[in-house]
Amino acid sequence: MLIDITLKITPKMVKDAQGNEKKALVGHLGTHFDVMNKEFPLEYTRRKGIIFDVSNITERDIEITDIDLSKVEKDMFVAFYTGFIEKEGYGIKPYFSEHPQLSKDLIDALLEKKISMIGIDFAGVRRGKEHTPKDQYCADRGTFIIENLCNLKNLAQQTEYFTANTYPMNYADMTGLPCRVVAEV
């Protein structure tokens, strides 16, 4: 079974996003990954994935103790279902400024596992001024962050493990690349 976990963009979403987030242009609109100054390796297009349901975590960062880190393997696509994109709706101001975030310790632990991608259903692994530097920090270690995923609740209800098929646009010299992500269960 295939589950599209890519956000479907409408003209209203484009208008809302561009009015509330200065980077919500072609490369950073909807589901995309932050490549920073790196090239997306083609072998990353198909990865073993795992999804963690952390939808019960509110009012604090998502921590290492909120997931079973022993299930994370090298080269994985690690997805976090928070439900935020469904609750807030993509493109409005709080979506970009009040979203959940992964703790710095959790990000470091995932990087130590040498995963390929972190997939999230919100606007960034960190908020505000920490967003771009943390994206670069991850990219420098070979891990790309895919933002604004959707349908993760459906995926989490189906399985814990899946195959992530990720296909970015073939743009050059951009910090963000729109992509299509399809989970294979």
Question: What would the mean pLDDT of 15-40 be, rounded to a whole number?
Answer: 68
Q: Determine contact, residues 153/115, Cβ cutoff 8 Å.
A: no
Choice among 24-28, 159-163, 181-185 with the minimum mean pLDDT: 24-28
Higher pLDDT, 5 or 90: 5
- For the cut 80, the answer to whether the pLDDT of residue 91 exceeds it is no
Between CA 138 and CA 111 the distance in angstroms is 7
Q: Which residue bears the tokens 């079973």?
A: 68
Consecutive H or E run containing 37 = none
Q: Determine contact, residues 142/116, Cβ cutoff 8 Å.
A: yes
In the prediction, which pLDDT does 55 show?
A: 97
Rg of the chain's alpha carbons, rounded to an integer? 15
- For the cut 90, the answer to whether the pLDDT of residue 181 exceeds it is yes
Between CA 40 and CA 62 the distance in angstroms is 26
pTM, entire model: 0.91
Per the prediction, the chain carries an average pLDDT of 90
In the prediction, which pLDDT does 25 show?
A: 55
In the prediction, which pLDDT does 22 show?
A: 52
- Alpha carbon distances (Å) from 156 to 3, 43, 118, 151: 11, 24, 15, 9
Q: Determine contact, residues 177/26, Cβ cutoff 8 Å.
A: no
**For residue 67, which amino acid is it?**
I
Question: What would the mean pLDDT of 62-75 be, rounded to a whole number?
Answer: 98
**Which of 184, 183, 182, 175 is closest to 40 using CA atoms?**
175
In the prediction, which pLDDT does 32 show?
A: 82
3-state secondary structure of 92: coil
* Structural domains in the chain plus CATH codes: 2-180 (3.50.30.50)
Consecutive H or E run containing 40 = none
